[in-house]
């Protein structure tokens, strides 16, 4: 029994020892497999796949996603290559890193110098070497990831200092992190900080975020238009002593790659703050977006037009105005040909204006709805055609029209009454300014809020003022029976004429027993219409009956106007009272009656006293 326990104990000891020894053996075997030399490439149809894990690990920090210009890219130390072999030997070689001597090593082929070569030149050299080692085998070269280079961004910017970017990166991406904080991935398997986490866990996290790096960064429009930095005069000092200027704003607005050069190793990029006194240049008028920009010495009018999004449809062709402040005062130059515009030399603080072609804006129209002979959209001459002309154009009204209830709408968001772009006059929510002698203006020519500053009205008066402004903002009543009124009203693009239908009814509502529409009968009185509606209700106030006209919604008392089709008859009511108010009113009425009785009694007593005194004296 004891021998059996001893043997069992020994077995458990050996088992625990084996468990403790097995993992290091496995890891050692894995390290040996990773560290073993390049495999032998043999002929045959089976494709062999080889990955240089060391090369991949040295370059796995960022993932490059921008296209590479293979016609201009020259290889150098740090580039990561891939080679595909087809033919007598079929293989895929990935992760081949160009070493510090500028060469790449291919299994059984040897070391090949590729530094300074274009991709096509390097591919031809590799093919020659591969053919010597593997006859009838064709090699194809690919750049899997470009090398990183270091440059410096200096100046009055938020984040100045050295930057690491990929080779053939353009300026806009190279300086992006000098203005915006970007969470960049961690290089390789190096630990970011000693935060107490398990090293294996940290490596897993780093590998997970590595593919997220170096995406194309975009500049927000508010940053571009803020003009805080001199982004049109960026100076790039090259390591070879040469200097060049870049215009990042032109690139962002037009896509001109010449304004956004490729950065190189050792570049010093200088960006200054854009101060208020820095020279500027502007373009406005018939362009898609008015701009005020930092001035560049090579600025021209065609470049400014391109940056402003081009000319609008209604722009005057072959014409531009340039305004400038000189020692003699304001001067203006009118350019009347494409050649003059192209060759004109701009100066600091010049203002370029592209005129509008008014004839191209001749396509103006209004719409007619309702009871017209012809409805739809009709052409007009802006500010000249009258409402009378329009009614004649549509053939007049139908027999079912209610001409006294017609109205005209002029609600055109995003436009001004002058027909020009809003950016010439300021924000779109400015109050409407009517055109002189137009005979018609729907939007008020005042701002009710501004008028409150010097007014002595009560608060209720301001509220009423705002109500009046809102009610007349989008429509105005028109009586199509009034020929003189129609001749005075001038039409503008976007106007809408509404002609309601005459239903031959009068609407009776308010404190009547049966409110509703009742057939219009000529010469029928207001009392008869109220009788048709069931007479006065219990709370009606017969002294407050009104006739409301359609269209204008003007109120009249009975007898001040004749009743017509479409009119509204409103019967007002006695004011609402609560119990407390009613009782207080009743008590006050009793007190008033008592006081009157007391006054009468006092008067009677006074008269009696006078009579008594008179009788006594006369006796």
Quick one: pLDDT band at residue 425, thresholds 50, 70, 90?
A: very low
Residues 396 and 334 in one domain: no
101 inside domain = yes
Residues 535 and 490 in one domain: no
Residues 391 and 329 in one domain: no
> What was the pLDDT predicted at 608?
85
Quick one: pLDDT band at residue 254, thresholds 50, 70, 90?
A: very high
Least confident of 316-325, 372-381, 405-414, 512-521: 405-414
> What was the pLDDT predicted at 318?
81
Residues 329 and 401 in one domain: no
Q: Which of 153, 377, 398 is nearest to 269 (CA)?
A: 153
> What was the pLDDT predicted at 463?
77
pTM of the full predicted structure? 0.58
pLDDT tens track for 72-94: 899 999 999 999 999 888 888 88
> What was the pLDDT predicted at 577?
64
**Domain stop point among 305, 329, 360:** 360
Beta bridge partners of 86: 138
**Domain stop point among 271, 293, 309:** 271
What is the spatial distance between Cα 444 and Cα 476, in angstroms, rounded to a whole number?
A: 11
Residues 511 and 567 in one domain: yes
Quick one: pLDDT band at residue 63, thresholds 50, 70, 90?
A: low
Three-state DSSP state, 217 = coil
Average pLDDT over residues 302-309: 95
Residues 492 and 425 in one domain: yes
116 inside domain = yes
**Domain stop point among 573, 589, 608:** 573
Question: 107-111, 196-200, 556-560, 589-593: which has the highest mean pLDDT?
Answer: 556-560
Residues 369 and 490 in one domain: yes
Distances (CA, A) of 426 to 224, 307, 429, 431: 21, 21, 9, 11
Q: How far is CA 27 from the centre of its chain?
A: 57
318 inside domain = yes
Residues 161 and 260 in one domain: yes
CATH number of the structural domain spanning residue 117:
3.30.1950.10
22, pLDDT greater than 50: no
How many folded domains does the chain comprise? 5
Average pLDDT, the chain: 80
DSSP state of 195: -
The label of the residue with tokens 């021998």 reads: 3
Residues 375 and 339 in one domain: no
What is the spatial distance between Cα 27 and Cα 18, in angstroms, rounded to a whole number?
A: 15
Q: Which of 490, 493, 525 is nearest to 506 (CA)?
A: 525
Burial of 522 (C-beta count, 10 Å sphere; 0-12/13-18/19+) = exposed
582 inside domain = no
> What was the pLDDT predicted at 128?
93
DSSP state of 592: H
Residues 371 and 493 in one domain: yes
Q: Which residues contact 42 (CB under 8 A, 6 or more apart)?
A: 48, 89
42 inside domain = no
Residues 516 and 493 in one domain: no
* Cβ contact 321:332 at 8 Å: yes
115 inside domain = yes
> What was the pLDDT predicted at 618?
82
Other CB atoms within 10 Å distance of the CB of residue 279 = 12
CATH number of the structural domain spanning residue 253:
3.10.560.10
30 inside domain = no
Strand order in the sheet with 540-548: 516-519, 505-510, 568-573, 540-548, 555-557
Quick one: pLDDT band at residue 438, thresholds 50, 70, 90?
A: very low
Q: Which of 391, 566, 392, 401 is nearest to 499 (CA)?
A: 401
Average pLDDT over residues 188-209: 40
pLDDT tens track for 324-373: 998 888 999 999 999 999 999 999 999 999 999 877 777 789 999 999 99
Residues 355 and 394 in one domain: no
Q: Could you list the residue range(s) of the whole structural domain that residue 430 is in?
A: 364-442+474-499
How many angstroms separate the first and last alpha carbons of the chain? 164
Bridge-based pairing of strands 234-237 and 555-557 is unpaired
Distances (CA, A) of 553 to 405, 434, 439, 559: 9, 24, 21, 17
Least confident of 175-179, 456-460, 538-542, 548-552: 456-460
Q: Which of 182, 177, 205 is nearest to 192 (CA)?
A: 205
Quick one: pLDDT band at residue 316, thresholds 50, 70, 90?
A: confident
551 inside domain = yes
């Amino acid at each position: 029994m004891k021998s059996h326990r001893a043997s069992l104990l020994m077995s458990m000891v050996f088992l625990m020892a084996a468990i403790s020894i097995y993992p290091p053996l496995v890891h050692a075997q894995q390290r040996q497999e990773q560290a073993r030399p390049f495999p032998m490439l043999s002929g045959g149809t089976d494709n062999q796949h080889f990955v240089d894990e060391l090369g991949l690990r040295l370059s796995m920090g960022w993932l490059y996603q921008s296209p590479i210009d293979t016609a201009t890219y020259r290889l150098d130390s740090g580039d990561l290559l891939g080679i595909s072999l087809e033919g007598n030997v079929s293989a895929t070689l990935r992760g081949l890193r160009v070493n510090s001597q500028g060469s790449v090593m291919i299994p059984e082929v040897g070391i090949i110098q590729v530094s300074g070569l274009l991709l096509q030149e390097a591919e031809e050299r590799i093919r020659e070497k591969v053919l010597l080692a593997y006859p009838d085998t064709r090699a194809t070269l690919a750049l899997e990831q470009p090398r990183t280079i270091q440059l410096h961004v200096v100046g009055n910017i938020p984040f100045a200092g050295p930057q690491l970017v990929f080779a053939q990166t353009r300026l806009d991406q190279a300086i992006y992190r000098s203005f915006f904080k970007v969470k960049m991935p961690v290089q390789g398997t190096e630990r970011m900080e000693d935060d107490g986490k398990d090293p294996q866990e940290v490596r897993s996290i780093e590998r997970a975020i590595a593919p997220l790096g170096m995406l194309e960064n975009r500049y927000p429009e508010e940053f571009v238009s803020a003009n805080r930095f001199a982004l049109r005069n960026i100076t790039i000092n090259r390591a070879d002593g040469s200097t060049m200027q870049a215009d990042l704003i032109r690139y962002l607005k037009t896509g001109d790659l010449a304004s956004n050069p490729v950065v190189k190793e050792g570049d010093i990029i200088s960006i200054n703050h854009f101060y208020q006194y820095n020279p500027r240049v502007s373009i406005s008028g018939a362009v898609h977006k008015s701009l005020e920009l930092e001035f560049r010495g090579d600025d021209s009018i065609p470049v400014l037009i391109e940056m402003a999004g081009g000319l609008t449809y209604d722009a005057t062709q072959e014409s531009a105005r340039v305004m400038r402040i000189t020692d003699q005062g304001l001067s203006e130059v009118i350019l009347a040909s494409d050649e003059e515009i192209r060759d004109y030399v701009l100066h600091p603080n010049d203002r370029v204006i592209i005129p509008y072609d008014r004839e191209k804006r001749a396509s103006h129209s209004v719409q007619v709805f309702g009871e017209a002979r012809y409805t739809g959209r009709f052409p007009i001459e802006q500010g000249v055609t009258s409402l009378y002309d329009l009614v004649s154009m549509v053939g007049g009204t139908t027999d079912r029209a209610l001409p006294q209830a017609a109205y005209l709408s002029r609600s055109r968001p995003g436009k001004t009454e002058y027909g020009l772009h809003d950016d010439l006059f300021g924000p779109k929510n400015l109050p409407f300014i009517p055109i002189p002698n137009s005979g018609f203006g729907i939007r008020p020519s005042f701002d009710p809020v501004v008028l409150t500053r010097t007014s002595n009205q009560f608060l209720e008066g301001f509220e009423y003022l705002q109500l009046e402004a809102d009610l007349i903002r989008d429509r105005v009543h028109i009586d199509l029976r009034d020929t003189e009124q129609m001749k005075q009203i001038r039409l503008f693009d976007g106007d809408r004429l509404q002609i309601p239908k005459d239903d031959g009814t009068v609407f009776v509502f308010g404190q009547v027993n049966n409110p509703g529409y009742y057939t219009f009968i000529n010469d029928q009185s207001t009392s008869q219409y109220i009788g048709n509606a069931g007479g006065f209700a219990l709370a009606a106030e017969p002294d407050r009956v009104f006739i409301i006209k359609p269209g204008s919604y003007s109120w009249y008392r009975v007898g001040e106007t004749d009743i017509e089709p479409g009119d509204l008859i409103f019967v007002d009511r006695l004011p609402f009272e609560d119990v407390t108010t009613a009782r207080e009113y009743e008590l006050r009425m009793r007190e008033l009656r008592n006081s009157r009785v007391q006054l009468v009694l006092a008067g009677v007593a006074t008269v009696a006293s006078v009579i008594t005194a008179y009788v006594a004296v006369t006796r």
